[in-house]
Amino acid sequence: MVYLERYKKNPVLKPNPNYEWQQGAVFNCGATLFKEKIILLYRAIGNYETYISTLGLAESDDGYNFKARPEPVMVPEEPFEKYGVEDPRITWLEGKYYICYTAVRTPVPAGDVDFHIGIASTSDFKTFKKYGTVINEYRDKDGVLFPEKINGRYALMHRAPEPDMWIAYSKDLKNWTDHKKFFSPIKNSWQDFKVGAGAPPIKTDEGWVNFYHGVSKELHYSLGVMLLDLKDPTKIISIIEDPILKPELDYEKEGDVPNVCFTCGVVEKDKKFLVYYGAADKCIAVAFIDKTKLLQAL
């Protein structure tokens, strides 16, 4: 069996009552290395009546002790994201940090929420350029860009139509074609309801390491990992059958949404994969695994 090892002093980031915009919850963070620091771009909730998310930023020298900025770095300001910017994933691509995020177009209390994949970029994590939303023919989320072109085209992992995982390709990051479903829920398993992308895939000599989430019919969110072919990422080389992390501890089982472990970002540091995950839609935790051990298991 292969499992992630939790950091003993989890959570690494909690809601901050001193700042209204993140006094309710902080969770579901993208993660990357920037100027020798680990950056977390995280989703924050202040007002539970509207439940509109903004994105905050925290940084760390060691990957475990984080200092957050006092103000959000991305807020809903365009019509296509009027009711929230959520669940960012960060990909270093062609000299920029690209962020795929869920752009919420209609208010959460309305019930049938309309959302799409938004794309933004930054070079300094201070200013962000937004490019709008893509694949607008579906309600879509869990958008993740691969860190390099594949066969001359950009590649995007996403989840539309639900409940499966798809990969699409583009020459311009705007128009996406050749959508192909490559992974679906597995009956009578920990991921029998729906599956979705987690962190951006990580390139290794053996293939793309793909951390993802699976949801059970009981709505328990757990983490899994698979290895994808470098030239055709719709081909799964191998997959670990059991979840590598599932809700077991109090901060993962009790929160705004119970029984959730949900990753949007993984960083490779000191020959380990540091997996940052939202716990029960309330706080941020980290777990890790030796890179060689994981690749051997895959």
Local confidence band at 291 (pLDDT 50, 70, 90 cut-offs) = very high
CB 253 within 8 A of CB 247: yes
Residue among 233, 245, 247 at smallest CA distance from 294: 245
Q: Looking at the 3D structure of the chain, how many domains does it have?
A: 1
Sheet of 261-269: strands edge to edge?
5-6, 283-290, 272-279, 261-269
Interval 249-271 mean pLDDT: 97
Q: What is the structure's pLDDT at 160?
A: 87
The predicted-structure confidence for 10-45, as pLDDT tens digits, reads as follows 999 999 999 999 999 999 999 999 999 999 999 999
Q: Check pLDDT > 80 for residue 82.
A: yes
Q: Check pLDDT > 80 for residue 110.
A: no
Q: What is the structure's pLDDT at 4?
A: 98
Q: What is the structure's pLDDT at 1?
A: 83
CB neighbour class for 279 (10 Å; exposed up to 12, middle 13-18, buried from 19): buried
Which value, to the nearest 10 degrees, does the dihedral of the CA atoms of residues 208, 275, 226, 176 take?
A: -60
The predicted-structure confidence for 154-185, as pLDDT tens digits, reads as follows 999 999 889 999 999 999 999 999 999 999 99
Local confidence band at 113 (pLDDT 50, 70, 90 cut-offs) = confident
- Structural tokens at position 296: 């051997």
CATH number at residue 26: 2.115.10.20
Q: What is the structure's pLDDT at 106?
A: 86
Q: Check pLDDT > 80 for residue 52.
A: yes
Local confidence band at 111 (pLDDT 50, 70, 90 cut-offs) = low
Q: What is the residue range of 163's domain?
A: 5-297
Residue among 1, 15, 3 at smallest CA distance from 251: 15
Whether this prediction's pTM lies above 0.85 is answered by yes
Whole-angstrom distance, CA of residue 80 vs CA of residue 101: 12
Q: Check pLDDT > 80 for residue 109.
A: no
